[in-house]
Amino acid sequence: MRADDPQFVIRDTVPDSLERGQSSTVLAELYINGTLTAPDSGTVTVYGPTGQEVTSGAVTVSDSIAQFSVSIPADQTLGDLYRVEWSLVVGSTTYRNRTRAEVVRRRLVCPVSVIDVYRVAPQLNSTGTDSITRYTAADVAAFVREAWIWSLVRLRESGRRPDLVSGADPLRDCTLHKSLSLIFGALSLAGAERFQPLAELHDQKASHSFRQARLEYAPDDAATDRLKKAARPSSLWLMGN
C-alpha cells in the first residue's frame, strides 16, 4: 500500500514526545477511507538521529489506536530527528508508514482541560441549564486536543525547540483561547452565525497570548543562551541604501 494513497493515512500532527529516563507511548491513528480503523496486529520500530535502532516490538490497540511503549535512557541525546516506522495489519493488507518522534527533557502535557473551558464559558457545558450547545464533554475535549496541537505547531514554527522546554504552563492561555475559538467557530458553521465574532476574538487572543508566552528552558542546557525566551518568531528586516 502506497504511503501517499489518499484512502490511507496515519495521522501525523506533531512528533511523539519521548521523555528521557521514562517510558513514553507512541501512537498511530490509522484512517482508511476517512474512518479510524483498529489494526488487527502490527509492529513498530523506533530509530535514532543517525539511523540506529532504538527499540522495536509489537503494538497494542486501545480505542482503535495502535500504540507502543518506548523506554528512553536518561542519557539519550535530545533532539527531534527520531522516526517511528509502523507496519499495521488490517485483514490481509499491511499498511506501512513513518511518523516523527523527539527525545525531550520533559514531555509537554496540555495545560488546559474541559473544566477550564467550562469555567470561562459555562454556557458551553451541554449539561447546564443555560447551555448553548449540544457538544458533550468528549466533544469539547477533542477541540482542546486540536488547540493543543495548534500551540505545539506554532511553537515549532517560531523556531523554538520543544525538546528543551521545561514545562507547558506558558502555553495555557493561548491553548485555552484557541479551544474557545475552535468551538465558537464550529457553532457558527453549524448555523449559529452569532458566534463568529467570538470565534474571531478568541483566535486573536490565542495568537497574542502565544506571542507573549515566556518559555522556560532547563538551566543546565548549553544549547540555550537564556532561561526564558518569548515564543515570538524572529523577524527579518530588509533595508535599502
pLDDT in tens, 181-202: 999 999 999 988 999 999 999 9
Identify the weakest region by mean pLDDT among 83-92, 103-112, 169-178, 204-213. Answer: 103-112
Q: Is the pLDDT of residue 2 over 60?
A: no
95 and 26, same structural domain? yes
Band of residue 73 on the pLDDT scale cut at 50, 70, 90 = confident
Highest mean pLDDT range out of 4-13, 131-140, 152-161?
131-140
In this structure, are 178 and 213 located in the same domain? Answer: yes
C-beta of residue 150 within 8 angstroms of C-beta of residue 158: no
Q: Which residues contact 48 (CB under 8 A, 6 or more apart)?
A: 54, 76, 77, 81, 82
Q: Are residues 61 and 164 in the same domain?
A: no
Q: Are 54 and 46 in contact (CB under 8 A)?
A: yes
Give the domain range for residue 223: 114-230
The pLDDT of residue 160 is 76
- Let me know whether 120 and 170 are in one domain: yes
Span 101-106, average pLDDT = 89
> For residue 25, is pLDDT > 60?
yes
Report helix, strand or coil for 26: strand
| Residues 83 and 27 reside in one and the same domain | yes
- The pLDDT of residue 226: 42
Q: pLDDT at position 8, please? A: 80
pLDDT band at 225 (very low <50, low <70, confident <90, very high): very low
- Give per-residue pLDDT as tens, 39-49: 999 999 999 99
Rounded to an integer, what distance in angstroms lies between the CA atom of residue 219 and that of residue 3? Answer: 41
Please give the tally of structural domains in the chain: 2
Dist CA 105 CA 17 (whole Å) = 9
Query: Residue holding cell 522546554?
Result: 165
Place of cell 453549524: 190
User: C-alpha grid cell for residue 31?
Assistant: 484512517
Mean pLDDT of the chain: 87
Closest CA to 156 of 10, 51, 11, 13: 13
Same domain as 163, residue 94: no
The reply to whether 24 and 93 lie within a common domain is: yes
For residue 27, the cross-strand partners are: 67
What pLDDT is stored for residue 6 in this prediction? 52
The pLDDT, as a whole number, for residue 58 is: 97
Number of helical (H) and strand (E) elements in the chain, helices listed first: 4, 13
Residue 98 has pLDDT above 70, yes or no: yes
Q: Write the CATH number for 70.
A: 2.60.40.1930
Compute the average pLDDT of residues 64-83: 90
Average pLDDT of the residues in 129-153: 95
Same domain, 100 and 148: no
